[in-house]
Chains A and B, each alone.
Chain A
Amino acid sequence: MVNLANPILLIVIPLLFVFLIAFSSAFSKSAAKYLPIIAFGINVVVAMLLVPEVLKNGLVLSTTAGFKPPIAIDMIVDKLALFLVIIASVLGFVVSIYNVAYIDEEPEEKFYALFTLLITGIIWMIITGDLFNLFVAFEVTSIAAFGLVGFHRDKGSVEAGFKYLVMGAIGGSLLLVGIIMLYAATGTLNIIDVAQKSAELTFQQKFLAYALIFVGLGIEGALFPLNAWLPDAHPAAPSSVSSILSGIMTTAAIYAIIRITNIIFDYNQIYLFLMFFALLTLIFGEIAAYYQKDIKRMLAYSTIGQTGLFFFAFTIHSTNGLQGAFLQIINHSVSKSMLFLVVGAMIVQVGSRNIEDFVGLGRKMKVSSFFLAIGMFSLMGMPPFFGFWSKLKIIFAALQHSNALMIGSVVIILLMSVVEGAYFFKLLQMMFFGKAEQDREIKEASFGMLVPVVILGFILLFISFYPTPVLDFAHQAASDLMNKNYINLALKLGGL
């Protein structure tokens, strides 16, 4: 019997469904609508099957072509990766349901294929154990995202798509140069192998290669000066796609950066460099979000801010900091995806993305607005929602190092949280307590769009009120990453 708890299935099954969508579109238009749901349903199951394995062994490694890792490409799922994989799969599943009701524009089958490909690429980026494979996964994700951003084919989305494409292509090339430099230096592409062989390199050599990889992934990961595409692309894309882009794609890119940083460098050599970017990203994202009139653009800038926050938590580089970062990732992924989905449903009803037009929606679209509010509260870090636990953890972790730098950073983070509160509360009170000038015909979002929102909302509420398992799991994942267990276990299991 095939062992279903095989990480490679996480990629291959959705990919199979991508091609199935293409294949089936020759016969039936409507099949394409539902295939992604099945694909990610299976993915969720596989991810869940992986949980006991990962908990038992600390890591699950899957080879391709029947060869051991340095020879062939391998897929590695450790706790951290599993973490993200579960989020990505669940988001994929939920957003696929949303798509059924949301997408009504031709060519639908291409959309579904690309959408499935996008999430596949994201999962791929997370679990791959090979540098060049990472690049390929990066490109799969990017290409799918480019196409999806341009899906509406109107003025804004085409412009956004093109800007994204140019920046993404430059980023991809720089990433590839970085990877090739590591290859030239070590003669291998496997991450674990590179980690071991790069120990002989000088810091400058490592750093140059690393910087290029960092820039390449940072473009996708929305780090500050490199993220200019994001506020254009997220609003331009269909809301379901924005939800994925915001919820998990940037996270996956950041994850890749963290993974490579963690493997190649000692923390002390590099953390200031990373912290600098993290704080800039946080500051500029949050402040820019404050000025937005376009609700999706606001959420997009907020994504930049949140990315900065959890990237900062990574750079604290203690078990606590990493735990905080993971919690913040969960919080951000679930909440922000839900927000984009809700906002998408609202935009369908309102017919505008301008915040001013959202006045009084709280009374018309009660369920949607309720979940919007919950998501926003969680992002702001208001108790008893999940964001509170993660923010608590991050600040606690940061202040464990009582140097001026950390205290300054904490002050910045909290100031930016205030800014975040400022724009979210502005929106909230406009929606719930503002009165529209003329009475508009606005109905509650359709059932098909509400179901995914409600699912995500309940996930959020569940982990808010019962955070213990998530906290524990995050803690284990964090200590694994901290101790570089990844390398040791992979060496043991993969027999490198």
Chain B
Amino acid sequence: MSYYLGSFLLIAIGLYTVIIKKNLIKIVIGLNFIASGVNLLIVSIGYVKNGTAPIFSKIGINPSAMVDPIPQALTLTAIVIDASELALAVAFVVLLYRHYGTLDIKKIRSLKW
């Protein structure tokens, strides 16, 4: 359960960062927090008590002792997606800084209403 809790906390901290923090970089980090939390959640769901990695490195391993392979596969995909988003986010932050000369999200409000 604590694994779950850890992932939930990561998500919550990420959301908190995104809402409360003013700095663009911190917001991007907050996004990363959320993504990590979700990935942790996925992996922990797949865990089966006393399970091993789902690799048949030797013939004759009992498949019933293995953990669920799907969450791991999902995590792989999710990580790459998060990485892509992060790369784009950072690129945006750089451009924002160039246009506005600040990293304070409160001052980046040219589009409203």
Contacts and interface: CB of A to CB of B under 8 A. Distances in A.
Do A and B make up one complex? Answer: yes
Nearest to A183: B45
Nearest to A132: B74
A143 B42 contact: no
Interface in B46-81: 70-71, 74, 77-78, 81
Contacts of B2: none
B78 to A, nearest CB: 6
A184 interface: yes
Contact of A169 (B24, B41, B89, B93): B89
B100 interface: yes
Given A172-B85, A189-B70, A158 B92 contact: yes
Contacts of B15: 170
A158 B95 contact: yes
Contact of B42 (A139, A161, A180, A288): A180
* Secondary structure dominating the interface of A: helix
* Secondary structure dominating the interface of B: helix
Contact of A143 (B35, B74, B85, B113): B85
Interface stretch (A1-9, A149-157, A384-392, A409-417): A149-157
Contacts of A147: 88
B85 A159 contact: no
A18 B35 CA distance: 27
Interface string A169-185: 11011001100100110
B84 A143 contact: yes
Contact of B31 (A146, A150, A169): A169
A155 B111 CA distance: 10
Contact of B111 (A160, A165, A166, A169): A160
B11 A177 contact: yes
Interface size class of B (residues with CB under 8 A): 20 to 34
B110 A155 contact: yes
B106 interface: no
Contacts of A433: none
B25 interface: no
Contacts of B77: 132, 136
A183 B111 contact: no
Contacts, number: 90
Interface in B10-37: 11, 14-15, 18, 24, 27, 31, 34-35
A170 B113 CA distance: 22
A177 B84 CA distance: 18
A143 B111 CA distance: 21
A165 B88 contact: yes
A276 interface: no
A459 to B, nearest CB: 32
Contact of B99 (A146, A158, A169, A231): A158
Contacts of A180: 38, 41-42, 45, 71, 74
B88 A146 contact: yes
A291 B89 contact: no
A161 to B, nearest CB: 6
Contacts of B78: 176
A453 B78 CA distance: 39
Given A143-B85, A166-B31, A176-B78, A159 B110 contact: yes
B100 A165 contact: no
Nearest to A175: B38
A165 B11 CA distance: 17
A173 B85 CA distance: 11
